[in-house]
Amino acid sequence: MSTHISVPPQLLLERILTLEIVRVTERAAVSAARLRGHGQEKAADQAAVDAMRRELNKLPIEGTVVIGEGERDEAPMLFIGEKVGLNAGPQVDIAVDPLEGTTLCAKNMPGAIATMAMADGGTLLHAPDVYMEKIAIGPGYARNTIDLDAPPAENIQRLAKAKGVPASAITALVLDRPRHADIISAVRSTGAAVRLITDGDVAGVIHTATPEETGVDIYMGTGGAPEGVLAAAALRCIGGQMQCRLVLDSAEKRERAAKMGVSDPRMIYGIEDMVKGDCLFAATGVTTGSLLTGVKFRKDNVIETETVVMRSVTGTVRYIKAEHRQLDKFYLD
């Protein structure tokens, strides 16, 4: 009997790289976690970026960063268009948010994560670093249950009807920003509840996939476009509906978007528009939140991490609790 395990090239992305991208987000999370509560947003973000880039460059891939820290002229590392990996293996698109919730990490508040997604080359939406209107719900509903252009109150009523409950049984998750005052008021007018979060809308969208656990039925509001694509990658793996539109409210933003291939500035993107093919998604907790436990630095020189990793091709979701004893891999000072 042969003991050799061979993996067909078309399965390399899903099988071989699943654990590899876990290592990438683990390294970023540990580096950022060392600066929890220090009030240094940029330093924590830079530490996560450095660690993530270092690990990505060890992977057997021809990777292109399509969602990154910004455009080439404003981001020293992991900029949009940067090539990463060993330049050997499958061609892949990469979306990264090395520290989602920089403010949460700086203030040591719940919910900061290190996250990334990987997909076949040419299948992730190339989105500029602008705002994006978003609405998302979990799996199990008829297509077009929600509509980005419908009033918030109508979306609540439609979701309640589809779920077979009164509107008062629905909870909407919204970023706590002045720009969302009208959405919050409209949602509450239906009798539905609003849960406000200060940051972290990747995890926020993911929460809609498991309302029985999280208590979140729908995500509404405007957040970052990079986070929108990352969240779409997660929902591509676990199911759900999402509609998004780039906020291109100036000629300069429309020009930037056009350079990235956005031909219709008013287009509504669904999950399949943002993530066209198979993908992997991973996130590691930096500070403990409702999605993941944060990094723990134990007295016995062991570092604990918790990561969620998902594969779209199978819908498999793995939660990986790790104990790290070889600490030099984290390049800690």
Per-residue pLDDT reduced to its tens digit, 226-243: 999 999 999 999 999 999
Whole-number percent of the chain with pLDDT over 90: 81
Expressed in percent and rounded to 5, the helix, strand and coil fractions of the chain are: 35, 25, 40
pLDDT of 313 strictly over 70: yes
Q: What is the mean pLDDT of the chain?
A: 92
pLDDT at 146: 97
pLDDT at 40: 95
pLDDT at 274: 96
pLDDT at 4: 61
Domains of the chain in sequence order: 9-124+279-330 (3.30.540.10), 131-274 (3.40.190.90)
Cβ 82 vs Cβ 64: under 8 Å: yes
Band (196; pLDDT cuts 50, 70, 90):
very high
Band (219; pLDDT cuts 50, 70, 90):
very high
β-pair type (296-297, 317-324): unpaired
Q: pLDDT by residue (tens digit) across 45-100?
A: 999 999 999 999 999 999 999 998 877 666 668 988 999 999 988 899 999 999 99
| Contacting residues for 71 by C-beta, under 8 A, at least 6 apart | 79, 80, 128, 129, 256
Band (209; pLDDT cuts 50, 70, 90):
very high
Q: pLDDT by residue (tens digit) across 8-49?
A: 665 655 677 899 999 999 999 999 999 999 999 999 999 999
Greatest Cα pair distance in the chain: 67
Q: pLDDT by residue (tens digit) across 95-138?
A: 999 999 999 999 999 999 999 999 999 999 988 889 999 999 99
302-306 contact pairs (CB < 8 A, 24+): 303/30, 303/327, 303/330, 305/26, 305/29, 305/30
pLDDT at 89: 86
pLDDT at 260: 87
pLDDT at 74: 66
- How far apart, in whole angstroms, are the C-alpha atoms of residue 26 and residue 36? 15
pLDDT of 149 strictly over 90: yes
pLDDT at 330: 85
